[in-house]
Amino acid sequence: MASKITIRRLEPSDDRASFRSGNVDLDRFFQRFAGQNQFRHHIGTTFVAIENDAIVGYATLAASEVTARALPVAKRRRLPQYPLPVLRLARLAVAESAAGSGVGSELLRAVFVLAHRMAKDLGCVGVLVDAKPGAEAFYERFGFFRLELEGGELGDRPAPTAMFLELGAIPAPTA
Ligand X SMILES: CC(C)(COP(=O)(O)OP(=O)(O)OC[C@H]1O[C@@H](n2cnc3c(N)ncnc32)[C@H](O)[C@@H]1OP(=O)(O)O)[C@@H](O)C(=O)NCCC(=O)NCCS
Do 114 and 88 form a contact (C-beta atoms < 8 A)?
no
Closest to ligand X by CB, 76 vs 164, is 164
Q: For residue 44, which of 92, 88, 84, 11 has the smallest C-alpha distance?
A: 88
Strands (DSSP E) found in 18-147: 45-51, 54-66, 84-94, 126-131, 145-146
Do 128 and 64 form a contact (C-beta atoms < 8 A)?
yes
Tell whether residue 161 is a contact of ligand X (CB under 6 A): no
Residue selected from 48, 87, 103, 127 as contacting ligand X according to rule CB under 6 A = 103
Distance of closest approach, residue 62 Cβ to ligand X, in angstroms: 14
* x/- letters, 104..143, toward ligand X (CB under 6 A): xx-------------------------xx-xx-xx--x--
Residue selected from 80, 100, 155, 168 as contacting ligand X according to rule CB under 6 A = 100
Catalog residues that contact ligand X under the rule CB under 6 A. 21-23, 26, 92-94, 99-105, 131-132, 134-135, 137-138, 141
